[in-house]
Amino acid sequence: MIASILNLFGCKKKVETKITKPNFTEETINGTKDTELLEKVWNNISSKLSTDYEKEYESVLKLSKSEQAIYIIWNLEGEINNGGFNQYYFNSSGQFADLVPDALKLIHANKFADLVVKANNIYKKEYKNITKHQDGTLEGFSKSYDDNPLNKLDDEFYDLYKTEKLENLLIEYIRQNKSEFVDK
């Protein structure tokens, strides 16, 4: 009531502003088990992106190089483990294909980087052949796996897990570069 009366006479009540701490901090990273860290970081990065998938690429480019690396490597790995390189290039994650080798090198996954360069070159060279059946239908997408030169690279990707522990490299990179992932 008093505030209303003071407002009528041009007096304003002093408003206290609350300073909020960032949600994702070094303490968050330190307190997260390795088995949960990568997903927690990826979720935090994803929360910063536009919800408009038409703006995904531009939105990702606004992230730090470290955040970009985690985001695009996570998506690469998920797509390939789910449906191979063919699925990766078919889905929106494929728009980051040219950025992936540098992202992989950033976390010291050099063998994966070399394989993605190889896949990118094949995809560009064989684009018409690879995509000729991709007409927007499930049948067309399924048919695009027939005689697809990328298929042989899927096994190479899976075999690399034996020599380069991608998840471990990602976790190690995050732990060594915590400041790159905290909310500012």
CATH number at residue 35: 1.20.1420.60
pLDDT at 22: 58
Burial class (CB in 10 A: 0-12, 13-18, 19+), 115: buried
The whole-angstrom separation of Cα 75 and Cα 92 is 10
Neighbours of 19 (CB within 10 A): 4
Higher pLDDT, 6 or 120: 120
Q: What is the mean pLDDT of residues 79-90?
A: 96
Question: Could you list the residue range(s) of the whole structural domain that residue 160 is in?
Answer: 24-180
CA dist., res. 181 & res. 42, Å (int): 10
Q: Looking at the domain assignment, is residue 90 inside a domain?
A: yes
The pTM of this model reads 0.85
- Flag whether 111 is in a domain: yes
Asked whether residue 125 carries a pLDDT value surpassing 50, the answer given is yes
- Is there a domain that residue 6 lies in? no
What would the pLDDT profile of 30-68 be if each residue is shown by its tens digit? 999 999 999 999 999 999 998 888 899 999 999 999 999
Give the model's pLDDT for residue 120: 98
The reply to whether 4 falls in a domain is: no
Identify which of 133, 155, 129 has the alpha carbon closest to the alpha carbon of residue 142: 133
The per-residue pLDDT for 184 is: 81
11 in a domain, yes or no? Answer: no
Q: Which of 54, 58, 112, 57 is nearest to 85 (CA)?
A: 112
Domain membership of residue 64 (yes or no) is yes
pLDDT tens, position by position, 22-32: 588 999 999 99
3-class state of residue 113 by DSSP:
helix
For the cut 90, the answer to whether the pLDDT of residue 14 exceeds it is no
Average pLDDT over residues 77-104: 97
pLDDT at 3 (0 to 100) = 45
For CA atoms 59, 109, 149, 77, the dihedral sign is negative
Q: Does 61 fall in a domain?
A: yes
Q: Please check whether residue 98 lies inside any domain of the structure.
A: yes
Q: Which range among 4-8, 95-99, 106-110 shows the weakest confidence by mean pLDDT? A: 4-8
User: Quick count: other Cβ atoms within 10 Å of Cβ 45?
Assistant: 21
> Count of domains in the chain?
1
Is the model more confident about 148 or about 15? 148
For residue 15, the Cα-to-chain-centroid distance in whole angstroms is 40
| Mean predicted lDDT score pLDDT of the chain | 89
Q: How many residues does the chain have?
A: 184
d(CA 35, CA 27): 16
